[in-house]
Amino acid sequence: MTDEIIDNGSEQPPEDAHYRIRRGAGGRFAGPFAAIGRAWRERKVLRRLTYVAGAGLVVFGGVWVAFTHDLPDANKLLEYQPPLPTMVRGLDGEIIYSYARERRVQLRYVDFPKPLLDAFLSAEDKTFWTHGGVDFTGLAGAVVDYASKLGTGGRARGGSTITQQVAKNILIGDEYSVTRKLKEMVVARRIESVLTKPQILELYLNEIPLGRQSFGVQAAARAYFGKDVDQLQLHEAAFLAILPKAPERYGRKQYEGMAIERRNWVLDQMVTNGWASRADADAAKAQPLGLIPRRVETYPSGNGYFIEEVRRRLIDQYGEKAEDGANSVYAGGLWVRTSLDRQMQDAVRDSLRAGLLRYQGNRAWSRPIAHIDDMSTWQSQLIVSNKTVDYKDWRVGVILDRSGSTGRIGFSDGNTATLTNISELAKVGDLVAAAPVSSDSYSVRTIPEVSGGMVIEQPGTGRIMAMQGGFDSGLDSFNRAVQAERQPGSTIKPFVYATGLQYGMTPATQVLDGTFCVYQGGALGNKCFRNFGGEGGAGSHTMRWGLEQSRNLMTVRIANDTGMKRVVKTFKTVGIGDYKPYLSFALGAGETSVARMVNAYAALANNGVQFASSPIDYVQDRNGKVIWKPDNRRCDTCNMAEWDGKPMPRVVRRGKQVLDSGTAYQVVHMLEGVVTRGTAVVLRDLGIPMFGKTGTTNGPTDVWFVGGTQDYVGGVYLGYDTPRSLGGYAQGGRIAAPIFKQVVQATRDRWGTQPFVAPPGIRMVRIDRASGKQVMGAEPGNDPKAAVIWEAFKPDTEPRQYTPEDEFARRRDALVAEIRGVREARQAAASASAAEQQDFAEQQGGVY
């Protein structure tokens, strides 16, 4: 059988086969694509449109990349730390201040009451729970509004969702432009993919600016109503919800009608959304706004100098602004526990003020607090000056006009009153302190021109318990307790004596209280030291007597015999100052601060162990972690899971031994005599075991007292900021010691009654107070001037027994010293040249 061959005259397959092959290759879409291809090849317009569309897509892609490449990452919000103020607590844990430039309080989502949430959602974003970050219906309305206002200068309504507002407030900024709005939309979409709706709402309600320096609803609730958010009524929650639109307008009296109208609109929206009943909304509408007057946070008064010193130290360590670090003072949200003792602080403030006013006495008004030149804006300038006084019922005001000794005074609240007792030196525009004398009349009060500083420290820890740096921190922020550099006068002498004791002397060592001159060479010749008041010498006496009576000649002789290099090394070791080895520094010619002197005396009270003084106990970050404390000792093996059989760990001693313990106690024991029978005898009737030393600088320009007990050590100085004479009668025992005494009287139960405890090795020996010789068969009496006393000696340094020959020698030396003193006085009176009368101490800036 022959195969049948079909020949159609061509090698191509049949038409139906060709169709089937093409269809199998292109499928059912081959036809349309082929048609489009033929149309694109045949029609130029289509080809051009294709090119334009492609170029448009490329351009759009480029613009999109350029537009979005630098947008902030929404993941930052997961670790976002809002700026928070630093809260300061006192010794008792109570909040005493807040370092804040904005009102901010952070709450969690669960802390916001539902009516408040509903009010904000009704006012700002009713579709919040359903949209993906952008409400396109609201956006379309905003676009139309924007177009209608082009060229008019008016600001279009935002159309932003709450998510967009979070993007604007935290990540993007508040620039008014279409570009910002587009960025806001993109970032909002990203936020919705990162955070939950409650997290977004929590961020929003904590960060939204609401006027009166308030950020977040909790801060605003306190600023406008004096309440926390959980105490707000419905009409108050609705008012807060209107603030994002115009935070600085709706809270003002002149816009009260607009605020009520907008608040009522929010209440209606809550009803429409099913989030409030009509009856509740109508009742809320009937309520007035109920806003409280604008006010600042109030904290316990009288702590200004202490608080400022804490702030200064924190800024030095952590910075001031957010860009300075995560723990900055005004943004880091720190919690600071201080050592401020309110009872002690009040006593220090009141006592120093009383001392300043006592010295001021009847001295006439001499100068204004400040002066205003442009009286057309006196109220605003008075507010900006930030001058206040927190003393009794005194106020700071500006003299508006005057006629003779009467006139008018204006205050920062805009009120005015009659002013009396105006000094001839006062002018219109002067800021003065005034006290009310009737309902519409004030009288000028004099702020003491003299000033001073005072510090109380706990010697066993270095904690500063109280600090006052002037009459009132509202008048002057310069803290004289830590910032003023003054000559300490005789308060430095105990450390001269400590150096002598360290190098072989004892409290019973006899030292000549006689003329001591230094040859300066050439035309200068001899320059001689003198005792206070120009007194000559009094013969040989014990070191104790020299310190109790503050004898300059004995102090200089001890310094010279011991070596001034050793003396100034002691000054540096205890932190008083770094001085050159000049004898005048042994009398307090160098400069130091009250705080440093108090810390040095604290080492004496603590048997030579010194702790760095600090007003801060510890600092916590916003999460409660302790990031600083003065005690940085480590003990890594103290918390072992189980005992490893090795000796118990011992934490190293925190304090630094700056003086030999025996030497420190000997000095304290002698300084107790300063209180019982020396220059600080004004303190004796307190009946408390106390040590201390007075000081009066050359002039006299400053008067001092430093001392205390084992529990507390304090120091005070008084003087003019620009040093000048306080008057010939001014002495530390007359002016400074009574200030310290008033503090102790006001806090008597805090100072303790236990005597100072001698360290191991110290031997108490009965001696004759005048000669320093050991006495047998006699007991020390209770009379402060008893002939026999107990004296402290280091091992094997006790003096020999007192004999009749010693008594004869003592009387002989006293007679010779008296004759010598008369002779020196006559020689001084006969001197014809003032230059010859100047002593070496005066040449070197010396002191009494």
Q: What is the 3-state secondary structure (H, E, C) of 425-491?
A: CCCCCEEEEEEEEECCEEEEECCCCCEEEEEEECCCCCEEEEEECCCCCCCCCCCCCCCCCECCHHH
Is 457 noted as a catalytic residue in this protein?
A: no
Task: Give dist(CA 602, CA 614) in Å, integer.
Answer: 13
- How is residue 73 annotated by DSSP? P
Residues in Cβ contact with 105 at an 8 Å cutoff, skipping those fewer than 6 apart: 216, 218, 219, 222
Distance (Å, whole) CA 408 – CA 429? 11
> From residue 491, how far is each of 305, 325, 363, 496, 589 by CA, in Å?
24, 42, 29, 10, 11
Q: Give the position of tokens 């403030």.
A: 349
Catalytic site residue from 122, 124, 192, 308: 124
Is the bond preceding residue 700 a cis peptide, omega within 30 degrees?
A: yes
Q: Return left, alpha or beta for 470; rule: phi > 0 is left, psi -120 to 50 is alpha, else beta.
A: left
Question: What does the block give as tokens for 77?
Answer: 């919000």
- Contact between 283 and 297 (Cβ < 8 Å): no
Query: Residue 471 is encoded by which pair of tokens?
Result: 């009459």
Angle, to 10 degrees, between the axis of helix 15-26 and the axis of helix 30-42? 90
Q: Determine phi and psi for 182, rounding to 5 degrees.
A: -65, -45
CB atoms within 10 A of CB 638: 10
Pair of tokens at residue 503:
């190098």
Strand partners, 87: 98, 335
Among 490, 540, 584, 593, the one annotated catalytic: 490
Residues 6 or more apart from 8 whose CB is under 8 A from it? 14
d(CA 124, CA 184): 16
Cβ proximity of 475 and 369 under 8 Å: yes
Q: Catalytic site residue 449? A: no
What's the rounded Cα separation, in Å, for the pair 372 and 165? 43
- CA–chain centroid gap for 544, Å, is 41
501: which residues sit within 8 A by CB, 6+ positions away?
507, 543, 663, 666, 667
Q: Give the 3-state secondary structure of residue 468.
A: strand
Give yes or no for a contact between 576 and 495, defined as CB atoms under 8 angstroms apart: yes
The Cα 206–Cα 12 span in angstroms is 81
Spatial distance between the Cα atoms of 779 and 821, rounded to a whole number of angstroms: 34
Q: Which two tokens stand for residue 87?
A: 């809260």
Q: With contact defined as beta carbons under 8 Å apart, do 399 and 428 qualify?
A: yes
Token output for 630: 């003065």
- Catalytically active residues are 124, 490
